[in-house]
Amino acid sequence: VTEDVRTDTYDALLWEIDRIAPVLRGKTKDLSGQFSTVRQVRGDGNCFYRALCFAHLESVLHNARALQRFKETVVRTYEDFSSAGFDETSFKHHLNTVVDVVERCQADEQEDTLLRLFNEQMTSDSVVQYLRLLTSAHLQNQAEFFCNFVEAPNLLVYCQQEVETMAMECDHVDILALSQALDICIHIVSMEGDEQQVAHHVIPEGAEPSLHLLYQTSHYNILYPRPQH
């Protein structure tokens, strides 16, 4: 999330999609009926991680109990790193960055504070690195389950090359792992495929999502549902 991140009415984005790919017209109509606003996220290969953390914090910003619960979850992930054999020097700084971001949000509960923090390059990138390392740790701690879903020579190689490395796009297995590690439910709305309607994926299935992400052409933005009347 950088300085050009903004909240726009969806009309402009829908017009641009229609102009570039008329075949998406059915999808854009379906999308605009369900979501009113999008927040654009920098397309640097880290968009999923950045979008997830920003959107989740935004969703609990005015809920003191939920914000504290998320902070406690982050602190407990120290054990996940230790179990996976990570050296403290590789993750502690990034973990502390996330805790600091949450504490600043607790201090004033202002959207502007959250946006400013994610617009600070060093802070935002450190948050992303924490999420990548946590995803890797969770994959390794649950290797018996996840090893069947990666194509690399082995799970450790996959984690080191595809997950921990900045700017590498995430795969479905990474999304599932991070969702489990942070106990966050994610709703992904996909523009991919030949259907006239958008596809919906809730991870994990059956749970109530705290955030909504738009996936199109290997990029994630943040969606805001229309108010329910």
DSSP 210: S
Backbone torsions φ then ψ of 91, nearest 5 degrees? -130, -20
Marked catalytic residue, from 47, 53, 159, 170: 47
Question: Of 74, 211, 186, nearest to 130 (Cα)?
Answer: 74
Burial of 215 (0-12, 13-18, 19+ CB in 10 A): buried
Determine the angle formed by the axes of helices 64-83 and 121-141, rounding to 10 degrees: 60
Whether 105 sits among the annotated catalytic residues: the reply is no
- Cβ contacts of residue 17 below 8 Å, gap of 6+? 24, 27, 28, 191
For the question of residue 94 being annotated catalytic, the response is: no
Q: 222 phi and psi, to 5 degrees?
A: -100, 135
Taking the C-alpha atoms of residue 39 and residue 60, their distance in angstroms, rounded to an integer, is 17
Concerning whether 112 is annotated as a catalytic residue, the answer is no
Among candidate residues 8, 11, 44, 108, the one labeled active-site is: 44
Question: Which DSSP state fits 160?
Answer: I
| Residue 35 β-bridge partners | 225
Closest of 175, 135, 140, 174 to residue 155, by C-alpha: 140
User: Is 159 a known active-site residue?
Assistant: no
Q: Which of 62, 93, 172, 200 is catalytic?
A: 200
| Number of CB atoms found within 10 A of residue 4's CB | 9
Catalytic residues: 44, 47, 200, 219
